[in-house]
Amino acid sequence: MITGKFPSLRLRRTRKYVWSRKLVQENNLSANDLIYPIFLIEGKNKKQTIKSMPNIYRYTLDKLGEVVNNVVKNNIPMVALFPSTPNSKKDKYGSEALNEDNLVCRATQYIKKRFKNNVGIMCDVALDPYTSHGHDGLLKNNYVINDETNQILIKQSLLQAEMGCDVIAPSDMMDGRIGKIRKALDKNKFHDVQLLSYAVKYASNFYGPFRDAVGSKKSLKSDKKNYQMDFSNKNESLREVALDIKEGADMVMIKPGMPYLDIIKTVKDNFKIPVLAYQVSGEYSMIKQSINNNLINEDSIIESLMCFKRAGASAIVSYFALDIAKKL
């Protein structure tokens, strides 16, 4: 591959000056690559801290406009909405997911009315923020049942589309849900609503702070290994992505991010489809806590995001998105 040898070939030559390094830089990161997740809570005039996620907050809807306005000002193309549902509204069926007055529905309507199409809205399709047991689907004998869950996810997706959601993002990992949701969206004339499949979502240990943020951690009494992927597996990810593309996914998500760069590259190389990476809450908190304790510096954030681009990611969901976009 290298056509030359030292000393006539010196690879350090192009590294000497800033202008030269810029010319030969192979990957670039811009605000266009970022998606900003926002946590929602009921109430008024609240910006609620999340202890396990420094500098990340839960917002009431009257505070949402300020956050989204900053997103738009800093040229981030899309926000992702996640609700912290009050325990009083949770049940074993996740019924609140189908309530047209729930947090996500109201937030979607508000953003769409105020910001029109100046920012995209991504809505999570799964039941874990709404169930009393904290699982992504219906639970029977401590097992998440697939087909019955899909029926609820279809209704949840249609409701979100009706409220104005631009990108429906099923993160539940049920078999067959992408095809059923796409068919339902098309049947109801939501042809232009995009479908982002969390096609490759591992049963990871990096989700803890997120579960704090949406309030499902305390209610979750068992793991999610009977529907999320085994982190030992790579080839299985290709099967998952192939099925979801065939069923109508416009884009696919790899989650978590940094521990799975090999999966991002493999999926991108094999399918040439838009591949999104989720730099999950555990990744965020580890980096942020290390910065706060002077173990690493803030430049590590850019480095962590650039690795996704290098692996082939088209976009990155990151809690760092807003802070970093201001610097790009």
For the chain, list residues with pLDDT below 70: 2
DSSP codes of every residue in 265-301: HHHHHHH-S-EEEEE-HHHHHHHHHHHHTTSS-THHH
Q: Which two tokens stand for residue 59?
A: 């917002």
Is-contact 61 106, C-beta < 8 A? yes
Distance CA 67, CA 46 (A): 12
pLDDT in the model for residue 4: 86
**3-state DSSP call for residue 24?**
helix
pLDDT the model gives residue 217: 81
Coil, strand or helix: which one is 194?
A: strand
Q: Is the overall model pTM greater than 0.85, yes or no?
A: yes
Q: Cα dist. 221→145, 224, 269 in Å?
A: 17, 10, 38
**Which ranges of the chain does DSSP label H, i.e. alpha helix?**
18-24, 61-73, 103-115, 146-163, 177-187, 208-214, 235-247, 261-271, 281-292, 299-311, 321-325
Q: What is the DSSP letter of 327?
A: T
Other CB atoms within 10 A of residue 190 CB:
20
Q: Which amino acid is at 103?
A: L
Enter the tokens of residue 178: 């992408």
- Map residue 86 onto helix, strand or coil: coil
Q: For domain 30-252, is the CATH number 3.40.50.300?
A: no
Is 46 in contact with 86 (CB distance < 8 Å)?
no
pLDDT score, position 119: 98
User: Can you read off the two tokens belonging to residue 127?
Assistant: 């039941």
**H or E stretch including 57?**
strand 57-59
**What is d(CA 93, CA 137) in angstroms, rounded to the nearest whole number?**
8
Of 90, 201, 288, 309, catalytic? 201
**Whether 255 is catalytic:** yes
Tokens of 7: 């000393």
| Residue from 255, 268, 288, 309 carrying the catalytic annotation | 255
CA-CA distance, 191 to 185, in Å (whole number)?
6
The radius of gyration of the chain's CA atoms, rounded to the nearest angstrom, is: 20
Asked if 77 and 33 count as a contact pair (C-beta separation under 8 A), the reply is no
201 carries an active-site annotation? yes
CB 276 within 8 A of CB 254: yes
pLDDT of residue 3: 78
Comparing C-alpha atoms, which of 309, 167, 195 is closest to residue 251?
195
Residue 158 near residue 212 (C-beta atoms within 8 A): no
